[in-house]
Chain A
Amino acid sequence: MLNLQEVKKPRGYNFAFLDENTKREIRRKTLKAVAIPGYQVPFASPELPIARGWGTGGLQLTMSLIGPEDVLKVIDQGCDGGVNAVNIRNLLVKTTGVKTTYATSEATIIQTRHRIPEEKMRDDQILVLQVPIPEPLRFVEASMAKTREMHSEMDYSRMWVFLYENIVKWGEITLGARYPSLVNKRYLIDPSPIPRWDVPPLNMADTLYLFGAGREKRIYAVPPHTRVEPLEFDDFAFRVEDFSGLACIRCGSTNTYFNEVFDGAGGKIHVCSDSSNCDKIRAQREEECSCASD
């Protein structure tokens, strides 16, 4: 007589939490996204034990891609130690047992919220970005049916008028993060709430960038060596954030993206947003200092 208890071993969760069928759907949709750069591919996106809006899209991508040999890095706002990053890292480690790292160069998969690592990534690494709102046209059109049509016809005129009206009213384009960018000269994407600073690294990179929106149920991709061009006028060029004259109080860097912090005494200080990169620069400078004093 067949004993089900013996045949079907009781187990907790599958490797990387998601069942294999869910992973399969995500992988197929990811391949489609890579094949059509910038196009938002719908996917089923079932619920996860982490809240919608807190990284379920990125998580589903990571969970469908990660293998036992991978080395994982998770950051939020550029920092490995933030509560959101810790929580996500815990879930992934609990369900996979993979090695983790804070060092960008050691990771094979990096899941990130709102920042791209300062260190240039390689072609053997994947960056998974968490996306709250995948639709760049949301600034000008609330209806998903209409934005779908606009993408299919490559009709981005309303976005352009929005930028024109910005300049008329404020003297310049006031969009900070989520800067609309054209991928492969065809699809307009919302690059997720990364600052403008992080848009140029997307262009003609060696790395595969994957974007996951869990609540909105969309996956899109910027494959390696693909053009990513932020919308700009011929006479109003795209500008990144201005940190001229400022330096990081921890590592002295003058060319990384900074967090502004009120120091409690009424003043302001600046710290690198990419914390592990900051550590790396600090370590380098200390080494140089000690070498110099030898």
Chain B
Amino acid sequence: MPAIDNIIFQVHNLSKYYGPGCPSCAVLTGPEQETNVCPRCGTIVACHEINLDLEQGEILGIVGESGSGKSTLVRCLYFDDEVTGGEAYLAAYGAGKADIFRESSQKKRHIRNHLMGMVYQNPLLGIKPHFTAGGNVAEKLLTADVYHYGDIRKRAAVLLTRTEIPIGRMDDFPAHFSGGMQQRVQIAKALANNPPLLFLDEITTGLDLSVQARVLDLVKEIQRELGIAMLVVSHDLGVIRMLADRTAVMKNGRIVEIGLTDQILEDPQHQYTQLLVHSML
């Protein structure tokens, strides 16, 4: 990790390929070629040599359309998928000197449980419908080694209240909640272990507009209060504009532009970014 003290997360040359791979994959795919699929070997180049870093308390937005690789990127960072190449460093882990992709699965689980939080687009990926809402939060706390029932109850109550879930529903099953409420249980769970780093993958997609607004407000407030660094993935520039300090634009597995959100929106440099910005409703 470089000397800049404020950087808590760094990604070097992250690549994710699906398929056998060949020497021409990198050259024959990308934003200029407008494709992810290598014509020579059929490999899908989901991500190619992604570099980014995240500062303390910052929200970095990743925007792109389908096939841009943004969701793949986040899945790899959360260890849901194995990277094909690249390194990543967390300041909170091993003083930022250990490449987290090379750690054992037990250590990866430790990093996930103690140092990261994740909110998926589909809440049922992040929460277990057969645990109660409180039980879901409890699960995160238990994996973070909190073994006091009273403390667990208190903290779960605090988090669920914070995410605007009525306390009376703490012992109900999320299977019976609305989509928006399920999403908020997921957020409560992701925050349970006070992670220094939070991933948010298309968290408002599929929700009603008013519900979207509430969820986004919640995220912004939490971020202000707790100063958690976040990686927000969305195809919706509106969401990015609302949340992100800096933004990376992805197309066909590469970052085509990265900078302050305001600058990107007002003065997009790359052709594709211009297209995106001008398509905004």
Contact = CB atoms under 8 A, between A and B. Distances in A.
The short answer to whether A and B are in direct contact, CB under 8 Å, is yes
A241 interface: no
A168 B134 contact: yes
A164 B135 contact: yes
B139 A161 contact: yes
B171 interface: yes
A236 interface: yes
B142 A167 contact: no
Interface residue range, chain B:
10 to 19
Interface stretch (A29-37, A53-61, A151-159): A151-159
A238 interface: no
Q: Chain B contact residues: over half helix, strand or loop, or mixed?
A: helix
Interface residue range, chain A:
10 to 19
A235 interface: yes
Nearest to B106: A153
B138 interface: yes
Interface in B220-271: none
Identify the interface centre among A153, A157, A161, A169: most chain B CB within 10 Å of its CB. A161
A158 B128 CA distance: 10
B37 to A, nearest CB: 33
A234 B145 CA distance: 11
Contacts of B105: 153
A157 B150 contact: no
Contacts of B139: 157-158, 160-161
Nearest to A164: B138
Contacts of B147: 160, 233-234
B149 A164 contact: yes
B159 to A, nearest CB: 15
Interface in A140-178: 153-155, 157-158, 160-161, 164-165, 167-169
Identify the interface centre among A153, A160, A164, A165: most chain B CB within 10 Å of its CB. A164
A154 B148 CA distance: 19
A161 B132 CA distance: 10
19 contacts: A153-B106, A153-B109, A155-B143, A157-B139, A157-B142, A158-B139, A160-B138, A160-B142, A160-B147, A161-B131, A161-B138, A164-B135, A167-B149, A233-B147, A233-B148, A233-B149, A234-B147, A234-B151, A235-B148
Interface of A: 153-155, 157-158, 160-161, 164-165, 167-169, 233-236
Given A164-B135, A235-B148, 11 more contacts: A154-B106, A155-B143, A157-B142, A158-B139, A160-B138, A160-B147, A161-B138, A161-B142, A165-B135, A233-B148, A235-B150
Interface of B: 105-106, 109, 131-132, 134-135, 138-139, 142-143, 147-152, 171
The 6 closest A-B pairs by CB, nearest first: A234-B148, A233-B149, A160-B142, A157-B143, A164-B138, A161-B139
